[in-house]
Structure 1
Amino acid sequence: MRFDHDTLAQRVRFGSGAAAANLAAEVASLGVSRLMVIAAEAERELAARVAAGLPVAHWHHEVAMHVPVGVARRAREQAATHRVDALVSVGGGSTTGLAKAVALTTGLPIVAVPTTYAGSEATNVWGLTENARKTTGVDPRVLPRTIVYDAALMLTLPVELSVASGLNALAHCVDSLWAPRTDPINQALAGEGIRALHTGLPAVATDPGDLDGREHALYGAYLAAVAFASAGSGLHHKICHVLGGMFDLPHAQTHAVVLPHVLAFNAPAAPDARRRIATAFDAESATKGLAQLRTRLHAPKALRDYGMTESGIGPAAEAIVAAAPPGNPTPVTLDNITELLHQAWEGAEPR
């Protein structure tokens, strides 16, 4: 056994019902006095409640999927205008992504308060979209200093979005098992992440108010993101980045649709990964375990349901082949990626 593993330096405060207290404690420990709180309009009231009593210099509510360059520019301008010295993000992956875009050019520290299972808060990966193309990169400045996890904040997250967001987290786990920098440590994290999500998501789907289910899902999503941050972007994420940037598809639902097709594509050539996934699902095989979970969750099935046109499959396949990571278990060709996209677009069973 021989490998190099990087562990990202980050504090995690995990406690249901403790978001406001834990956020206040973090702000005090940073010694900052002019916060910029980033929250989408849908989280405006929640952010006001969580950040009540803190020294907020600016409340910023312009948030968009895939962080368009123009949205990032305006957020950076507001940070400069209000002379903020720290960022607080309250929301899902798009909100965290915007905070990262500001931190990328300013170096401002981020305290992230997630309200979905996106996992962006635990990675040093940033993404920006311009002219229908999403660009991603890695930079230590964008890694939030602290994550404040509170499963109680997710009790009102609709089941449909909880499922899509949770399957996005599951995709982090699966992709981490064959990504370019995969190693035994992040493989172990990914396996435990799959197990926790497999426990939590059905509980949430059955009873959205099940706090124990929410906590399991949130714990699994964090492990998934830590594994992904170490292992890097595998084929699944390259596909979803292309599709999201090119067609402005919803992030979580795109991951949820694409995941079973990538698993079926790679599993035959990745025996160790497929055994680990099957074990985590307590299933006969990796693909059957995922299929059974998706059935229980009534998971999203087809890209065409979210606005992708069939005519976009060809251009997307070409872009994915160009971006595919080296060393993917199954060799990537234009033909097999085109077939994969057709299946995902139609909502067909993975082959």
Structure 2
Amino acid sequence: MFSDKDISRFTNLETPFYYYDLTLLQNTLKKCASAANVYNFHVHYAMKANFNPTVVAKIKSVGFGADCVSGGEVKQAVELGFDAGKIVFAGVGKSDKEINFALDQDIFCFNVESIQELEVINELALVKGKKAKVAIRINPNVDAHTHHNITTGLDENKFGINSWDLPACAEVLKKSAQLEFVGIHFHIGSQITNLDVYKSLCTRVNEFANWFEERGFTVKVLNVGGGLGIDYHNPDQQIPDFEAYFKIFNDFLEIKPNQEVHFELGRALVGQSSSLITKVLYIKNGKKKNFVILDAGMTELMRPALYQAYHKIENISRVEASSVVKYDIVGPICESTDCFGKEVELPETFRGDLIALRSTGAYGEVMASNYNLRNEVRAVFTED
């Protein structure tokens, strides 16, 4: 991924920083848009994956909408120029302040996650004299076969309305004058690489859409969420198979005339577009372990500490070496969980070498913190 020119440039920059390949990002977005347009599918970008303004501007430029899970994300989407008619607002705990702000923006839809939330949105919309468009987020009890901490579609998860609560939900919708029901919404998890999972989701979407139609509701929108994963082990195979992904929904959803199918993709769009570039501070060789201590830690990249996520680690200062050593790759934070990888095989590594942690475009920079009073991590772009 990195040319000699890139590495020379990195050598002169203060580390750590996130390096974004905007050309790769643009190519990924174009391929996704092209594949979705074949079926007239609607794509909303999941802002939580990465809200770097430069990255988000590229995404907006291809015509995608925005999928937001906080009032702050709604606000940034509006400020960055997303069409309010393409903004959806999900989240299990929307505050009154957040709901009111979204109502003022006349967003496309609230993805509602509880019966009580329906009632609150109706009350707040009444005060403003507005009608709020809502989609019901249903927990379909579909196993995404991904990491337990990023599964969202099982009965044990906090997200969405469970199937046994749908009759009560329908009653609230019928009596709530300020709510306009537009459809149903699902999201079963993240980093899904087995596309067969989506066939199971389609079956459930069809069942629930029919359930609402049988009770007199018009289901205009089928929002199937996102969750499409990337290949963390082979980051140079950089663009997901969007054609196969969208084809599954075209083949297995029972799409009625005038129904729209919406997606909320995040990681698949931005995940491979960035690497965290960090420098070796120290090498500690022991009897049982050899440690590479970096100037980046869990404050810059939380995913490995949070749920043991894998990122490919490369010594880009020593692409070729006569000897290979196994290292534990760790950061400087005063926590034992501040570790990026154990027993990682690298060329023999020395103080000052540049290390790249690949595939950090999603849930990398956005989850950074200043724990230990760390400095804010910078972003560097190919176009800088």
Same fold (TM over 0.5): no
Q: What TM-score, normalized by structure 2, do the two folds share?
A: 0.27
From the two aligned structures, give the one with the greater helix fraction.
Answer: 1
TM-score by length of 1: 0.29
| Pair member with larger Rg | 2
Q: Which has the higher contact order (CA 8 A, sep 6+)?
A: 2
Structure 1 or 2: larger strand share? Answer: 2
